[in-house]
Amino acid sequence: MKQTKIVASISDLRCDVDFIRQLFEAGMNVVRMNTAHATADGLKTIIKNTRAVSPYIGILIDTKGPEVRTTGCAAPIQYKTGEMVKIIGNPGMDTTHDIICVSYHDFVRDVSIGANVLFDDGALGMKVVNKDEDYLVVEVQNDGELGSHKSVNVPSVRINLPALTEKDRANIQLAIDEDVDFIAHSFVRSKDDVLTIQEILDAHHSDIKIISKIENQEGVDNIDEIIDASYGIMIARGDLGIEVPIKRIPGIQRQIIRKCILAKKPVIVATQMLHSMINNPRPTRAEVTDIANAIYSRTDSLMLSGETATGKYPVEAVRTMASIAEQAENDRLGENNDIAIPLSEHRDVTEFLAKQAVEATESLPIKAIITDSYSGRRGRLLAAFRGPYPVMAICYKERTARLLALSYSVKAFYQHERSSSSAYFFAALRMLIHEHFIGNDDMIAYMSSSFGEGKSSTFLEINKVRDIFTKADEYHLPNFVDK
């Protein structure tokens, strides 16, 4: 089985239960909802249908963040190199050939002469040659077409938009009401953007986790404080490849993955991973290599966007990504080229035991690491050390199992029985054997706490499954009773 997780974007126009089930069975772990076009009712339908398929599929909702887009136009507009047009900040006015309107009122104030303005993910470029109080004069840099509500990027220029729009706030409230698992916040520039959302979540006593999308130079520059403030990071290579020189993207990707692993936080690589499969049943060789390289760098998760949201071959795209991931993981382990992940500066007993559990798999024939998990921290720490075998996280809450859907190698399950630590552990073992995750002749490592759920880890033990069952009367765990 693959250990790298897959996030799949789903549109409310194609989100029936059978479709989501096919994606799940093909290897999808998390559903991503893009709020750019979906209605509130559409988002609720995606959530309802996802939950009907499995309680273990994580659900992630995007916010748009400080994003600028063009306004609507009657029909796509054609531009020729050398034409001179104006740009104004007027979200209530339609765009015409001669006047391009954008969604941010103060766009003209923030952009200077000499800046490059890129539309529609860089497909159309214009250069600012003059500036008036109310408009920019720009020269078209290439032949191209501009449709309605297309992205606007100004590389290396800070656009002073607030971290959240009113639509973002409405979608965050919907996420809270519907008990979504993750909020992926776009264009995060600093930890303050993250804390703006966290304050809203805290006010509603919500346990939703924030994934920060890195999409501009400011986000790259402030990556350390953003990682500290976030549950996880998404390397959103689409806008990032427009905002910074595209040749820098591979290096930035490797750097951010490394920083997230060291911080023991999940990281997602996103955008155009299998872009050709939007229209074709098979990927390009370059796409296969791109996925493999992200796995060689040890990302937690990979994301599909248009491939599953609007593409012709969505299930095939997930199945293809899962197959590539499994092969790349085997190739990486076969070369034995992994660099050891160090303990963090402020390590505790839980982190120390997690590292020892993973390192034990290199010296002993351990086939799985099992842990019980209340918040998911044990599972995430075990994932961060990137062992060769799966981590089986038996969770006290269904939500915890979904939060671990982004973490490398973790297979998370919700276990009902809690009468004692021994009963809990034996019930979990029986379930894992029944589901064929482990066998009676396998050796396992078990990491837990003597003090019960939600407490710091205190022990790590290694046993053969058969011995645990055949010597059950002699087998003792530090006991606890659920309160």
Give the number of other Cβ atoms within 10 Å of residue 133's Cβ.
Answer: 6
Q: Where in the chain is the domain with CATH 3.40.1380.20?
A: 349-474
Q: Are 411 and 466 spatial neighbours (Cβ–Cβ below 8 Å)?
A: no
Rounded to 5°, angle at Cα 304 from 411 and 173: 80
CATH superfamily for 5-65+163-335 is Phosphoenolpyruvate-binding domains (3.20.20.60)
Alpha-carbon span 253 to 268, nearest angstrom:
10
Task: Please report the pLDDT score of residue 156 as a whole number.
Answer: 85
Q: Which residues of the chain are in CATH 2.40.33.10 domains?
A: 68-153
Residues in a beta bridge with 62? 184
Model pLDDT, residue 338 = 57
Please tell me the predicted confidence (pLDDT) of residue 66: 85
Q: Residue 471's CB: how many other CB atoms inside 10 A? A: 10
> pLDDT tens, 442-452?
999 999 988 76
By CB atoms closer than 10 A (0-12, 13-18, 19+), residue 91 is middle
Q: Are 15 and 33 in contact (CB under 8 A)?
A: no
Structure tokens at 459: 């022990």
The pair of structure tokens assigned to 131 is 């500036």
Which CATH code for domain 68-153? Answer: 2.40.33.10
Q: Which positions are catalytic?
A: 32, 69, 213, 271
Strands (E), 11-55: 30-33
For CATH 3.20.20.60, list the domain ranges present in the chain: 5-65+163-335
CB 401 within 8 A of CB 54: no
Decide: 80 and 126 in contact? Cβ < 8 Å.
no
Q: Choose among 193, 204, 203, 293: nearest CA to 233.
A: 193
Residue segments in the chain with a per-residue pLDDT below the cut of 50: 481-483
pTM of the model: 0.92
Phi, psi dihedrals of residue 323, rounded to the nearest 5°: -65, -45
pLDDT, tens digit, 9 for 90 and up, residues 328-343: 999 987 665 556 789 9
Per the CATH hierarchy, to which homologous superfamily does domain 349-474 belong? Pyruvate kinase, C-terminal domain (3.40.1380.20)
Q: In the numeric block, which tokens belong to residue 199?
A: 């304050």
- Give me the residues paired with residue 372 across strands: 394
